[in-house]
Amino acid sequence: MRLYHGSKAKVPNCAIWKDDSSIRFVGYVRNDLGNLRGGQWNSGGQCSTEIEPIYDEIFLEKYPSKMRVLEYVLRQMKTPVIYLNINRLTDYRKDGHPSIYRKEYNSVQEQIAVETSQDYSHWCLPGVPDTWNELLYDSLSKTRGGFRRN
């Protein structure tokens, strides 16, 4: 709950700054908690064998209250804002988070050792960040003459 209240105070301040600023682009990055089997990334959790997306929304995590705060503040701003919510897009992918595909391994044994402890600084599935980039590029190219409100 503390993070929620902190977000509630921080986001409006950022919105006020944006409304008064000449800066035309602000980006936010989300850290993903992932969808691991067998524990967290540092205790044996992994997604290496996952190949199917989550089909039923009932299995997705609850939509974060801090995201609702962000969406509310964006609707109140004077400056039109483009908001690309990629959270749910990623949540449908069990393998849509950082993992073992961060480098080439010298041996099968080395790869197996890494699979037992997957990190969160590299992406498991290249398609997820590629999709984000395509959506961002498309959005920016459509708004070249100015911003539009969605």
pLDDT (tens digit per residue) in 42-63: 555 566 666 777 888 888 778 8
Give yes or no for residue 70 having a pLDDT over 50.
yes
Give the residue, 122 or 127, on which the prediction is more confident. 127
pLDDT (tens digit per residue) in 71-122: 888 888 887 777 777 777 777 776 665 555 556 778 888 776 666 555 544 4
From the number of C-beta atoms within 10 Å of its C-beta (0-12, 13-18, 19+), residue 81 rates as middle
Q: How far is CA 131 from the centre of its chain?
A: 11
Average the pLDDT over 10-22 and give the result. 54
For every residue of 46-110, DSSP letters joined together read B-TT--S----GGGSPPPPHHHHHHHHHHHH-SS-------HHHHHT-TT-SB-STTS--SSHHH
Give yes or no for residue 138 having a pLDDT over 80.
yes
* Whether the predicted model's global pTM rises above the 0.95 cut: no
Which are the contacts of 92, defined by CB distance < 8 A and separation ≥ 6? 53, 54, 60
